[in-house]
Amino acid sequence: MTALVGVYGASGCGRTVMPFLRETLEADCEAVFIDDTPQRTEVNGHRVLTFAQFLARPQADKQVCIAIANSRVRATLAAKCLAEGVRWRTCLSPRALLLDSGPIGEGAIVSPFATIGANAVIGRGLLADLYACVNHDCVLGDFVTLAPYANCNGTVKIGDHAYIGSGALIRQGQPGKPLVIGAGAVIGMGAVVTRDVPAGMTVVGNPARPLVKG
């Protein structure tokens, strides 16, 4: 086999990514899971290796798809893999909708039935889960996470490491004046966002308001 491709993360996110990764692999590639603390030696018919075991395998061409929901962990693992000469693989499901989208950054994962709209620009390390939607003219920074059914209407700008929860809805911005989700912001599950969200803020509800911790 000429290439070894690892899905980094053998839990729920990784097990979701592996089936559509397989659809994009060349015939002579082997796919495995990578887990730093493996509980099993095999998951869904694929070997589970530690990172050290992955590096020790004989294939010269090693690639990794980082399937972990925590964006900070994704960034740390991406740096570790690149330092070891492991190529960061972009994984676009054949069943995703890419509608004249702009550039999609290295290491992005776009799941089945997710949509990237016209002229959207996607940074490095995106994780777009099932049925997530990034509509036209959106600009996403690095390591953005879109949970299932997250919906970003057109002309939205999302900063690095922002998290958009399941079923959240972000209102469309205006040409030249995008709605802005700041870096590291968290949009709660089912939230309806109608105005800008500052960096680092968590918002919840309909309409979305800052989360007040008791």
Catalytic residues: 136
81/60 Cα distance (integer angstroms): 14
Q: Look at the alpha carbons of 86, 23, 37, 129 in this order and tell me if their dihedral is positive or negative.
A: positive
User: CB 29: neighbour CB atoms within 10 A?
Assistant: 17
- In 56-204, where do the E strands start and end? 61-66, 87-88, 91-92, 97-98, 109-110, 115-116, 121-122, 127-128, 133-134, 139-140, 145-146, 151-152, 156-158, 163-164, 169-170, 179-181, 186-187, 192-193, 202-204
Give me 151's structure tokens.
Answer: 């919906």
